[in-house]
Structure 1
Amino acid sequence: MSTVIEQPVEARLVAAAPRMPSIPATLHYDRRDPFAVRMTFPAPATLEGVEVCWTFSRELLLSGLEGPEGHGDVRVRPYGYDRTVLEFHAPEGTAVVHIRSGEVRRFLRATHDLVPLGLEHLHLDLDHDLAELMRDAR
């Protein structure tokens, strides 16, 4: 069984222009980091021209489907019938994207099949992580 889930999604960038351009993005989940979700935007879709990856909690993404969530760099909220808004706050500015809520739900179901909510701790390898920290500290 794979320990990683990657799901391409179509994101719509909210900009000052009246048309919201579609940009590719990928939702990523790894059982070895069971509390986290990553959303990656390819280089052509970013202002800097380099791939950008945001990491945030799976719980934030799940809760944001039902109501506004997040107070830090990543915020999530429902919007309309089948849209979810993700806001990414950085010193350079804020990016706001819309993705289909159905795609988010499908991704979250797949992560739940891999690691059920509430059982994330069973997939942590604390001995390995501690050994890595100690190795890096030398």
Structure 2
Amino acid sequence: MSTVIEQPVEARLVAAAPRMSSIPASLGYDPHDPFAVRMSFPAPSTLEGVDVCWTFARELLTLGLEEPVGDGDVRVRPYGYDRIVLEFHAPEGTAVIHVRAGELRRFLASSTELVPVGLEHLHQDLDHGLTELLRDAR
């Protein structure tokens, strides 16, 4: 049996207004996709009014606790004493949010209990992944 981690986090949207508004968000980790984490935002908190889910490397989140990382669609960096900034870049624009570092550390500790860093390859189902890739190739 596989355990999937879902953890709500308090995210604050950085906007032009002086006060950052809280938006609901959650972090997810599935040992069947051991290198990745997901950050999900429900429809009411997005400009498009639809659920949005970003998937990115667990390592990016881990490294971003200590130093700025990322040069693609997702960027992570420390901010102040106990905040982490996550930037999500899309053709429609960029969303910048703050999350408490402690919440991210707890989430990462839980994911590491399930799949220790460096042992991710032992949790991958390569046959299933290959089947999925080739399913529509007929």
* TM-score, normalised with respect to structure 1: 0.97
| CA distances 1:87-129 after superposition (whole Å, capped 9, x unpaired) | 0001111100000000000000000000000000000111121
Match of 1:113 in 2: 113
- Could you list the per-position Cα deviations for residues 30-77 of structure 1 after superposition, in whole angstroms to 9, with x for gaps in the alignment? 000000000000100000000110110000000000000000000000
Structure 1 segments of 4 or more deviating over 4 A? none
| In structure 2, distance between residues paired with 1:80 and 1:120 | 31
Q: Give the Cα–Cα distance (whole angstroms) in 2 for the partners of residues 2 and 8 of structure 1.
A: 20
Q: What is the number of equivalent residue pairs in this alignment?
A: 138
| Aligned equivalents of 1:86, 1:33: Cα separation in 2 | 21
| TM-score, length basis structure 2 | 0.97
Aligned to 1:46: 46
Tell me the secondary structure at the aligned position of residue 96 of structure 2. Answer: strand
- Whole-angstrom distance in 1 between the partners of 2:53 and 2:132: 23
What's the CA shift for 1:2? 4.1
TM-superposed CA distance for 1:136, in Å, is: 2.4
SS of the aligned residue for 1:25 comes to: strand
The answer to whether the Cα contact below 8 Å between 1:3 and 1:32 also exists between their aligned partners in 2 is no
Q: Where does residue 9 of structure 2 map in the other structure?
A: 9
User: What is the percentage of aligned positions where both structures have the same residue?
Assistant: 79
Cα distance in structure 2, aligned partners of 1:19 and 1:55 = 28
Tell me how far 1:130 sits from its aligned partner.
Answer: 1.2
Which of 80-89 and 128-137 deviates more?
128-137
> Which residue is 2:135 aligned to?
135
Tell me, yes or no, if the aligned pair for 1:77 and 1:84 is still in contact at 8 Å: yes
Runs of at least 5 residues in structure 2 that lack an aligned partner in the other structure: none
